[in-house]
Structure 1
Amino acid sequence: MAHNGNGDTIETGIDGIEEDEQVQNQKDMEFKEEEVSLERVFKSQEVLPWRKQLTLRGLAVSLCLSILFSFIVMKLNLTTGIIPSLNVSAGLLGFFFVRTWTKLLDKSGMLRQPFTRQENTVIQTCVVASSGIAFSGGFGSYLLGMSELVADKTSDISDIKNPSLGWIIGFLFVVSFIGLFSVLPLTKIMIINFKLTYPSGTATANLINSFHTPEGAILAKKQVKVLGKFFTLSFLWGLFQWFYTAADGCGFESFPSLGLRAYQYRFYFDFSTIYVGVGMICPYIINVSVLLGGILSWGIMWPLIEKKEGQWYPPNLHDTDMNGIQGYKVFIASALMLGDGLYNLFKVLGHTLIGTYKQISDRPRENVLPVADQNSSSSPTQISYDDQRRIQFFLKDQTPTYFAVGGYVAIAAVSIITVPHIFPQLKWYHILVIYLFAPSLAFCSAYGCGLTNWSLASAYGKLIIFAIGAWAGASHGGVLAGLAACGVMMNIISTASDLMQDFKTGYLTLSSPRSMFVNQIIGTTMGCVISPCVFWVFYMTFKDLGAPKGRYPAPHAIVYRHMALLGTEGFSSLPKHCLLFSYIFFGSAIVINLIKDLMGKKRGWFIPLPMAMAIPFYIGPYFAIDMCVGSLILFVWEKMNKAKADAFAPAVASGLICGDGIWTLPASILAIAGVKPPICMKFLSRTTNARVDAFLGS
């Protein structure tokens, strides 16, 4: 501070300097923000009204991709149940098809509406909503568990309901839409106020945004070219393998690559490109966990338990008899899954309660929770340009709360009336109780998914199996009641989590929530028809469906059925020490998860995941070897050229998955038409081969 001759305080010079510095700092910040701001890149692009984001070409592409992805999800569902996130693949293929179409129209001068990232997002939303029904519809779990096909492998064949297109489509239509309305009023809370990450939704948005920048379009072309190349190779490889599969146990999928003794215990590489691709997408720890579970079960436990035949369980039982070694396989796997599911369920509930409390306590000026149709209280001057623009467009077309509540009540009423006609064992009051609790559980699942990317639909479904099964009782069809109730709950939880993931994608791409919600309904409608038809193709074509050693063992179906049996009848029929092993592995799943969480992400990254470990306990580790090969390819690629691997690995994996998945369609058509492969390629030991030669020579 200085004084002049008159004694006046002179501060203007310093204030002026400070003001100049503040202005310069603000300009520097604005310049830096402009450099990193994504929305400034798209500022010149007009964001079309929500109705124009829904296009006929988009619906046509969505329909084609929905059929493709339904086959992929169904095949994965009926083999191992491990289904990676296909959002990125849907966004990539949607970009490829529509961009190709618009380029052709542009060259002919007939293009009326350019292809935008909003339309790309809406297509991806529709495809994921449609193909998601292939999972939540229970075709590889609760729905197939009702069938005689699976019941034959248990000691109880009284409570059965065989699949039929009519009742499956009807059931899905009355239970699949309500989940969309259950968390709709909370979209602003989840996306804007809580700022939940939703990793899959964010990754998909980043991909779509990058596609529609000038540099991203060039990279996208290269990615699409790579995807097409590996799609073709995967499809042709499936065709080539088909020629050698004239009977069961024939072909490359039965190649004893690790030796005949290892092959007996399902340790072999089966040349499945779909699981090599899945391995490239799934995190390393999942693939390693699956392999570790296979080694623990088929490499150590089952050979040791087989030596106890005649002591712990009767000798000479059929492979599928639950009183024998099959009982250990199913119930130990179930215990691992249930322990992991319950731990994560309560973990997410805890995160939800703590997170909700913190979010509310950090907003002392608000007296009530914000809902979807309230205005944002955030000051636009306190947030970045990108967030200002995203919030503006996200709140522009919000669906009113009264519409969401009215839709939920209306669909619930229809479901309460209709579902008991499809499943008389499931009473109207059972469904009413489910729908009363479902919104809060859907919120917990959607919140947890935003934090961890982990959907707990199956965990809630398993709890409902026990609760409703025990409530209904064995004498009143408790098995079917529990499985059907599981379907009702799983559809609500799964669609609610998927909806929030897609809303996060829409928020980051300036897509209208209203256009996305409408396309969710369209996609769900498609899925309620496409998924049952795709399942029917598998059900009618592959006679080994559900067989433990078959091509499509559907491991979760028998697990779900036995959970329903346990809920109604108890543990009396299990082989010796099976219950003890189940308790040990149930507790181990909780302890492993607890250790992993206590060690934190940096130190606990190598701790295996019990849910992934449980899957090979029933069907063997052969697919784990495929997935680990995919991980190895990705690992080596990243070591050689990480930038190229990051850019093109998802495209390679998507091509491998899509090519093998779409081959299932012509393979099914050939089987239905009675066209059989001409060659059976089998592998024999030297001794067996000598006997065969001697027999043929005689």
Structure 2
Amino acid sequence: MEEEGHMKGEEAFRRTRVPPWIKQITLRAVITSFVLSLVFNFIVCKLNFTTGIIPSLNVAAGLLGFAVIKAYTTLLNNCGLLREPFTRQENTVIQTFVVSSSGIAFSSGMGSYLLGMSPYIAAQVDGGNTPINRKSLSLGWMFGFLFVVSFVGLFSIVPLRKMMILKYKLTYPSGTATALLVNSLHTPKGAKLAKKQVALLFKSFCGSFAFAFFQWFFTGGEDCGISTFPTFGLQAYSKKFYFDFSSTYVGVGMICPYLINVSLLLGAIISWGILWPWIEHKKGIWYSAEIPASSLSSVQGYRVFTAIAMMLGDGLYHCVIMLIRVAYSLITEYLEKKESFDQNPDNVDQNPSGDLDTQRRTEYFLKDQIPSWVAFTGYVVLAVISIITVSHIFPQLKWYHVLITYLFAPILAFCNAYGCGLTDWSLASNYGKVAIIIFSSWVGIENGGIIAGLASCGVMMSIVSTASDLMQDFKTGYLTLSSPRSMFVSQVLGTATGCLVSPLMFWFFHKAYTLGDPQGSYPAPYGEVYRGMALLGAKGFSSLPKHCLQLAIVFFFLAVFINIVRDLLVRYETKYRIYRFVPNAMALAIPFYLGGYFAIDMCIGSLILFLWEKRNKSKANDYVPALASGLICGDSLWSVPAAILSLAGASPPICMKFLSRAVNKKVDTFLSGGP
């Protein structure tokens, strides 16, 4: 007889009782989820404030949740005190809670649109630095803003869950992968593998944390530390080409696809290796030599607005294509149903039973309904509260602006959730960028168009992002027999936790470091980029340096062209799969502002993954997520004691700095008191 660990689908769980939805949300699950939410919010915030590249953390959340509860239940079981076994439904609740909470750390805009409102970022962006176009950040209004905008999206998509999951049978690859992980962990074979994964995660976490602690001792001054080692020489270092020994981005590189990492490196070479040195030779011709390099009227303006142009080109292309794809899919579905009805007018299901897995999953998915009137009422009530509150927090954004956003947002939320089910790609940030341009130009620079655009971005992103996340969770719940009600409640709890924790994490970094400093540890690049978008919409092209508009137009259409070429190759060229080598336009744009140091880190992660897969692909698939998660968590969490030491006034004892031979000779001469 086949062992349970090797059985497929629901057959492995045929003897396992499925608890009612209220018992799927246990006290231990909520406590574990809250603790893990603190960890994951901190990680996402740190990534937001460094490069803005955030990998999928679903696997790490599911694995860590399993490890914590399994250790707890094993201990109780050994003591004879275990009352309720640990179920996959409980594991799914934890994963949903944690991911929804950390998702708020991204959609809250702490490293993008909200940071772009601050006076510090406003001072870096030439134009629009007026009282009406900036807003001082404070915990009070950030808490209020997040709580009134983050829950609306949950109610916008709930009535469509049966259509998305059962009727259209959308795959939602991330949700499906998470469900397969959870199902696997709760079989005997999966539990054995999970123990090894958790052991590796713990080892990599400790090693990463210890290495970050070791590096801290050598950072006792500006531009000091092991991370400043000029890997490829001092000239390359001045152009931001070096390996900075960041365990976080080595781990991120192991999770991200090869194409993303190579595109990042290619973008750094094109910009910092070729384009910016050429523009710097135009100093005094295209822009004044007296202006500091950090000004947007200097070379920095070309960096920021060229990156913005590529991001907008990539975002608009994908928004349009996604709308077309959704419309085409819906029309095709309708025509197929109509043809089926014409052939079978009595509407008799030709395969009423289906397979046993589908039958059982459908039964439990339909068991605990969420009434549509609850969703509609919730959306309307929360939208009204949000309209009043948001227009009060941001007087530049009038109540009718917010109303229009909420009228169109459900359509875009549906398109994003549907498209995410087809492609696993959420375009929430792209819809937010479109909102920035529309509302900032509508309000105008004199009436606070920059703040209006950034605030509207927050409203749009929150709705569209949470809607697609919830539908992913419904797919995970469908495949693990978790109740839709438990999924919805855990999403609500996770969202509430994110709204509470994300501003606190932001404030922690804000007090310990200078966020948004291009030369600092946390440059928060998207703060300046999003403000630049709002300035572009509110003020128009007059805000750009000389010839910057022409350069921006070229890169805007380059991003569109790259996407068109890739989509055509995917559709018509299948023999050699050349599309695998077409770079990602969004990834190309990010290093235009930041440089290539983090891209090199991520490519090192890709190299480790590549060599591991060459040696043993099966083991690499099993253990790379655990290794990468440990590297990210350990290095990121060292920031907590580092920030506490900084707030307490403790400084590292050593400054490790790398100098050229000529500069070192001058330093030696100066210290020796020579001429």
TM-score normalised according to structure 2 size: 0.96
Which one-letter code corresponds to 2:360 in the other structure?
Answer: R
CA contact (8 A) 1:321 1:327 kept: yes
Identity level (%): 59
Quote the Cα distance in structure 2 between the aligned partners of 1:591 and 1:107: 62
Deviations 1:481-515 (A, max 9, x none): 11001100000011111111111111111111100
Residues of 2 paired with 1:503 and 1:319: CA distance?
49
3-state SS, counterpart of residue 183 of structure 1: helix
Alignment counterpart, residue 296 of structure 1, candidates 258, 261, 270: 270
Report the Cα offset of residue 261 of structure 1: 0.3
Q: Counterpart of 2:600 in structure 1: which amino acid? A: I
Query: What's 1:696 paired with?
Result: 671
Q: Does 1:201 align with 2:172?
A: no
Q: Map Cα deviations across residues 32-78 of structure 1 (whole Å, 9 max, x no partner).
A: xx986310111110000000000111011111110000111001111
Following the alignment from structure 1 to structure 2, what is the Cα–Cα distance between the partners of residues 66 and 222?
23
Q: Give the match for residue 594 of structure 1.
A: 564
Cα-Cα RMSD = 1.6
State how far apart, in whole Å, the 2-side matches of 1:108 and 1:226 are.
Answer: 27
Partners of 1:566 and 1:170 in 2: how far apart?
Answer: 28
Change (3 A) 1:131 1:378: farther
Verify the 8 A CA contact 1:37 1:385 in the aligned structure 2.
Answer: no
C-alpha contact (below 8 Å) 2:108/2:458 kept by paired residues: yes
Deviation at 1:377, TM superposition (A): 9.2
1:187–1:101 Cα change, 3 Å: same
Aligned match of 2:34 in 57, 63, 68?
Answer: 63
Matched, 1:283 2:283: no
Once the two structures are superposed, the pairs formed by residues 475-490 of structure 1 within 5 Å of their partners are 475-490=446-461
How far is 1:573 from its partner?
3.1
Counterpart in 1 of 2:344? none
**Cα distance between partner residues in 1 of 2:412 and 2:468:** 11
Instruction: Indicate conservation of the 8 Å contact 1:244/1:680, yes or no.
Output: yes
The within-5 A match list for 1:435-454 is 435-454=406-425
Contact 1:250 1:681 in 2 (8 A): yes
- Aligned runs of 1:64-213 on 2, under 5 Å? 64-155=35-126, 156-158=128-130, 159-213=133-187
Deviation string, structure 1 residues 80-130 (Cα, Å, up to 9, x no partner): 111000000000000000000000111111111100111000000000111
Give yes or no for the alignment of 1:579 onto 2:549.
yes
Which residue number corresponds to residue 40 of structure 1?
11
The answer on 1:636 being equivalent to 2:611 is yes
User: Which of 547, 556, 559 is matched with 2:526 structurally?
Assistant: 556
Would the alpha carbon gap of residues 378 and 288 (structure 1) be closer, same or farther in structure 2, given more than 3 Å must change? farther
C-alpha separation in 1, matches of 2:388 and 2:323: 31
* Equivalent-residue separation in structure 2 for 1:662 and 1:190 (angstroms): 38
Q: Residue by residue, what CA displacement relative to the aligned partner does 1:299-352 show, whole Å, maximum 9, x if unpaired?
A: 100011111101111003212211110110000000000000001111111110
SS in 2 for 1:498: helix
Q: 2:397 aligns with which of 413, 426, 451?
A: 426
Partner amino acid, structure 2, of 1:135: F
1:380 Cα deviation from its structure 2 partner? 6.7
Change (3 A) 1:690 1:57: same
In structure 2, C-alpha distance between the alignment counterparts of 1:397 and 1:364, rounded to whole Å: 30
Q: How many angstroms does 1:566 deviate by?
A: 1.1
Q: Deviations over 1:384-436 (max 9, x none)?
A: 11111111111111211111111000100111111111111111100100000
CA distance in 1, matches of 2:652, 2:538: 45
1:196 alignment partner, SS class: coil
Contact 2:536 2:543 in 1 (8 A): no
| SS of residue in 2 equivalent to 1:111 | coil
Q: Please give the alpha-carbon distance, in whole angstroms, between the structure 2 residues aligned to 1:306 and 1:565.
A: 24
Q: How many residues align?
A: 658
Corresponding residue of 1:330: 304
Tell me by how many angstroms 1:453 deviates: 1.2
2:622 aligned to which of 643, 647, 650: 647
Contact 2:200–2:626 (8 Å) recurs in 1: yes
**CA offset digits 1:571-595 (Å, max 9, x no partner):** 1132221100100000000000000
Q: 1: distance between equivalents of 2:543 and 2:328?
A: 42
The 3-state SS of whatever aligns with 2:653 is: coil
Q: Distance in 1 between matches of 2:247 and 2:143?
A: 31
Partner AA of 2:236 in structure 1:
A
Matched AA of 1:157: N
Residue in 2 that maps onto 1:23: none
Q: Which runs of 4+ in 1 moved over 6 A?
A: 376-380
Corresponding position of 1:340: 314
1:269 lines up with 2:243 in the alignment: yes
Query: Residues 153 and 322 of structure 1 are in contact (CA less than 8 Å); yes or no, is this contact kept in structure 2?
Result: yes
User: Structure 1 residues 650, 378: CA separation in 2 closer, same or farther (over 3 Å shift)?
Assistant: farther
Q: Which amino acid aligns with 1:487?
A: G
Alignment CA distance shift 1:506-1:379 (3 Å): farther
CA distance in 1, matches of 2:503, 2:348: 45
Question: What pairs up with 1:458-607 in 2 under 5 angstroms?
Answer: 458-543=429-514, 545-600=515-570, 602-607=577-582
Where does 1:7-46 land on structure 2 (aligned, <5 Å)? Answer: 37-46=8-17
Report the 3-state secondary structure (helix = DSSP H, G, I; strand = E; otherwise coil) of the residue aligned with 1:106.
helix
Aligned mates of 1:623, 1:451 — CA distance in 2 = 30
Q: How far apart are the structure 2 equivalents of 1:609 and 1:549?
A: 26
Q: Aligned partners of 1:71 and 1:589: how far apart in 2?
A: 32
Equivalent residue number for residue 8 of structure 1: none
The residue identity in structure 2 corresponding to 1:663 is W
Cα offset, 1:549, TM superposition: 1.8
Q: CA deviation digits over 1:617-637, x for unaligned, max 9?
A: 001110000000000000000
Question: Which string of whole-angstrom CA distances, capped at 9 and with x for unpartnered residues, describes residues 610-657 of structure 1?
Answer: 101100000111000000000000000000111111110110001101
Taking a change above 3 Å as real, the CA distance of residues 500 and 379 of structure 1, as seen in their structure-2 partners, is farther
Contact 1:37 / 1:386 at 8 angstroms: preserved in 2?
A: no
Q: Could you report, residue by residue, the CA deviation over 1:214-245 in whole angstroms, capped at 9, with x for unpaired residues?
A: 10000000000000000110111111111111
For 1:320, which of 294, 312, 331 is the aligned residue? 294
Q: Distance in 2 between matches of 1:573 and 1:430?
A: 25
Alignment of 1:210-289 (within 5 A): 210-289=184-263
CA distance in 1, matches of 2:528, 2:294: 10
2:650 equivalent among 675, 684, 692 = 675
Superposition deviation, residue 379 in structure 1: 7.2
Mark the structure with the bigger radius of gyration.
1
Aligned residues of 1:380 and 1:388 also touching (Cα < 8 A): no
Give per-residue Cα distances to partners, 1:365-392, cap 9 Å, x unaligned.
999xxxxxxxx99677442111111111
